[in-house]
Each structure stands twice: as C-alpha cells, then as structure tokens.
Amino acid sequence: MPKLNIHPAIAKLEKRIIALRRHFHQHPELSFQETETAQSILAELKGLNLEVRHPVARTGIVAVLRNGNGPCIALRADMDALPIQETGDRPYKSVNDGVMHACGHDGHLAILLGTLLALENSRDLWRGTLKFIFQPAEEGPAGARYMVEEGVLKEPKVRAIFGLHLWNYQDFGTIGVKAGAVMAAADRFTITVRGKGGHGAMPQGTVDAVIVAAQLVMSLQSIVSRNLNPLESGVVTVGQIHGGDNFNIIADEVTLTGTARAYREEDRQLIKSRIKAICDGTAASHGAAIELDYQDGYPPTINDPAMTEVAVQAARQVVGDGAGDPFRSMGGEDMAYFLQEVPGCFFFIGSAKPEHPEGAVPHHSSHFDFDERALTVGASMFVEIIQALLPPSG
Ligand SMILES: [Zn+2]
Ligand SMILES: [Zn+2]
C-alpha cells in the first residue's frame, strides 16, 4: 500500500472525525428530511467565527469562513441516507428503522466538518474565503439543483468547487481523479403502449400491446449498439414492464420504464431523440399509440481540467502512487449541477477495507461499510486543495 501523508491539521482531529461519522451513521435521514442531521452540524458550528445560512434548499446548510482577502472556494458534502434496512451488528448501527447511510454520505459529512474545524483553527495555512456546503437530497431529488437555484454559489461568488465520494470500488490508499466526465447523465423514461385488446385466440382486429412492447425493448437496445459512437459510452435499460390481465387475453396496454445514461451531453441528446423516433416508428408500424414521457435526470458530472490538476497534485501529496484514474461507472451524481455553474473537481477516495476485495461491499447494499481511515485521507485532500488555491501569501 502507498505511504499515506495525512495532513497534520487533520491527523489531530482523527478521533473526532470518526466519532462524527458514527454519529451520522447511527442517525440517518432520507432526502429532504435531514433535520436532525442539520441540527447536529449546526451544533458543531456553534461558537465558531462563521456566517451560517440555514435552511437552504429545505434542510441544507452553508457556512462561510473568511480569512483576509482572496477568492472564494467551495467544498461540498451530501447529507442524505437511503431507504434500506441495515443488516449487520455495529455499535453505531442505524437507529432509524428502514433508513441507512449505505452510500457513505455519513463519511462525507464527517470529512467536511473535520476540514472546516481544521481550517478554522489553522488560519495561518490559507487566506481568502471558504464556503462549506452541506447539501441535502443527493439520492434522487437533486438537492444540488435547489441549492444552485437558491444562490448558494453567489455572495460571495464561488470561483471553484470541490466534492468527493468515498468509493468502495477502489482500495483504501488510492484516490481517483480525472478531468472530464466522471459520472453519467442519468435520465428516466416511461413508455405507455396502447393497443386494442381482444380474445387470445382471435388476434384479428386487435393491436397486441405485448408484441409492440417486446419489439420496443429489442429496438431500444439498437441505440447504443448501432447509433452511438462505439468509442463513447451509453446505456439504455428497460427495468420494468407491466401489462396484460390474463393468459388468454390480448393486452391493450403495457407500460415500460427505464433509464438512459451517457457521459456526453450530445450522446444524451442522441439517445433521447432515438428513443422518441423508435416509439413513433413502432407505433406507426403496429397501429398502436405510444406515449413517451422522458424526464431529464442529473446531468453528467464533468471535471474542469485546471481544477482537476490541482486535485491530482493534492492526491499525489496525500497518497503518492495511490493517485490515479478513478473507477468510473454510469452512475449519476448531483454534484453535476454545481460543476455546470463553476469549475471544479469531484474525486473518489478509495475506501474498500483490506479484508474485502474491491466492490465486495457495494454502495447501496444493506451491509455497506467502508474503511474509516479513508476519512482523514478525504479531509487531507480538501486541506491540500485549499492550501494550493488559497496560499497564505497569495
Ligand atoms: Zn448513493
Ligand atoms: Zn453517494
């Protein structure tokens, strides 16, 4: 394993950061319901020389720390947990039935708070303005979008923003940083096929919605295989099909739902327009009516090259040879909304425990857990980035 270089200002706070993580883990809350979480964060901020805004985007918090003249850099953590019943038996197991921090956002909160405490206490390390963003509702409802709409990136104007994800798909001791797209656009669609039902033995005069739906499923798979540049990435998944009433009745209505993913905005638009064309063409060829409801989800998460270089240097400082490309997926992340507005970088802190092979304890599973040593690695990254961008002499 590469030699770690935990920042001294963070190393001092390790116990506190771990305790904070366990507290958040024990008291998880769902998207836009993070009220107790917000109270815990506010309690930590009490007595510090900060400007605190709350509530922002319902349950979020923004804390601004000023230290002389200089630009404003933002650091962001997400706050929400998932509707999962935690399995396993840890002393800090979730006390909220059916709710669990199964993505690592408990760790992100502890990392951001630890960074805040360290930089508040070590003002000689940097000069300028820091904006700490505690963001609700990452797991679906796009809390980041509401924060942007409520002006979180203004007053003071944010020049660059950084965020991270603890990442069990990478070993502890690694940090994944890459310019360009690191998470996908994640859209959702619902297709309703309306045909004309009838007797299962007398198809004449009917329009079989099941046949139309079956053809749709197969045709949709041709978008990625035949329309998309094979050197680019995309996924079209039909996750649900519902329709029909009985084995001997020709169904008159079938509903399909699915998700479309892409890294590039132009590929996202291509996939979207092809889904529409396939729906229209299939409807015409079968004499059915097909309705497409396509909902844009999170945009792709795109890292700025210059800010990524700052993060790469920070990663080399913290984990040496452990710095490299991240494990990428077609998952979505609402950090994308911030990165659409200001340059920045979203990076990945390897958090797989040595006793578990990479990815063996996947995010969003009921037995999710990560290596808590990754917490000080993440906080050290934030401190190194701030020192690089806001040097005390600058
Ligand atoms: Zn998640
Ligand atoms: Zn997450």
User: Among residues 333, 389, 306, which one has the least CA distance to residue 164?
Assistant: 333
Q: What pLDDT, on the 0 to 100 scale, is given for residue 288?
A: 98
Proximal ligand: closest to the CA of 107: 2
- How much distance in Å is there from the Cα of 227 to the middle of ligand 2? 31
Average pLDDT for residues 45-63, to the nearest whole number?
97
Q: Is the pLDDT of residue 147 over 90?
A: yes
- How much distance in Å is there from the Cα of 181 to the middle of ligand 2? 16
d(CA 6, CA 11): 6
Q: Is the pLDDT of residue 279 over 80?
A: yes
Average pLDDT for residues 26-30, to the nearest whole number?
98
Structure confidence by residue, pLDDT tens digits, 110-132: 999 999 999 999 999 999 999 99
- 106 Cβ partners below 8 Å, 6+ apart? 21, 22, 24, 25, 28, 81
Domain with CATH 3.30.70.360 in the chain: 185-298
Q: Is the pLDDT of residue 58 over 70?
A: yes
- 317 Cβ partners below 8 Å, 6+ apart? 5, 384
CATH T-level assignment (fold) for domain 8-183+300-389 = Aminopeptidase (3.40.630)
Average pLDDT for residues 208-217, to the nearest whole number?
98
With contact defined as beta carbons under 8 Å apart, do 262 and 250 qualify?
no
Q: Is the pLDDT of residue 357 over 90?
A: no
Proximal ligand: closest to the CA of 100: 1
- How much distance in Å is there from the Cα of 136 to the middle of ligand 1? 12
Q: Is the pLDDT of residue 2 over 80?
A: no
Longest dimension (CA), the chain: 84
Q: Is the pLDDT of residue 359 over 80?
A: no
Q: What pLDDT, on the 0 to 100 scale, is given for residue 360?
A: 78
* Res. 243 pLDDT band, cuts 50 70 90: very high
CATH no. of 185-298: 3.30.70.360
Domain with CATH 3.40.630.10 in the chain: 8-183+300-389
Average pLDDT for residues 97-101, to the nearest whole number?
98
- How much distance in Å is there from the Cα of 165 to the middle of ligand 2? 7
Average pLDDT for residues 21-35, to the nearest whole number?
98
Q: What pLDDT, on the 0 to 100 scale, is given for residue 155?
A: 94
CA dist list (Å): 187 to 138, 234, 253, 263, 377 = 15, 11, 23, 12, 32
Q: What pLDDT, on the 0 to 100 scale, is given for residue 266?
A: 96
| Type of residue numbered 56 | V
Average pLDDT for residues 124-145, to the nearest whole number?
97
Q: Would you please indicate which residues are annotated as catalytic (active-site) residues?
A: 80, 138
Q: What pLDDT, on the 0 to 100 scale, is given for residue 88?
A: 83
Proximal ligand: closest to the CA of 109: 2
Average pLDDT for residues 85-89, to the nearest whole number?
92
* Res. 356 pLDDT band, cuts 50 70 90: confident
State the average pLDDT for the chain: 97
Q: Is the pLDDT of residue 48 over 90?
A: yes
- How much distance in Å is there from the Cα of 164 to the middle of ligand 2? 9
| Type of residue numbered 380 | S
- How much distance in Å is there from the Cα of 369 to the middle of ligand 2? 13
d(CA 246, CA 314): 61
- 45 Cβ partners below 8 Å, 6+ apart? 52, 61, 63, 116
Q: Is the pLDDT of residue 37 over 90?
A: yes
Neighbours of ion ligand 1 (CB under 5 A): 103
**DSSP three-state, residue 146:** helix
**Cis bond leading into 156, ω under 30°?**
yes
Q: What pLDDT, on the 0 to 100 scale, is given for residue 3?
A: 85
Proximal ligand: closest to the CA of 83: 1
Percentage of the chain modeled with pLDDT above 70: 99
- How much distance in Å is there from the Cα of 363 to the middle of ligand 1? 7
* Res. 355 pLDDT band, cuts 50 70 90: confident
Q: What pLDDT, on the 0 to 100 scale, is given for residue 394?
A: 59
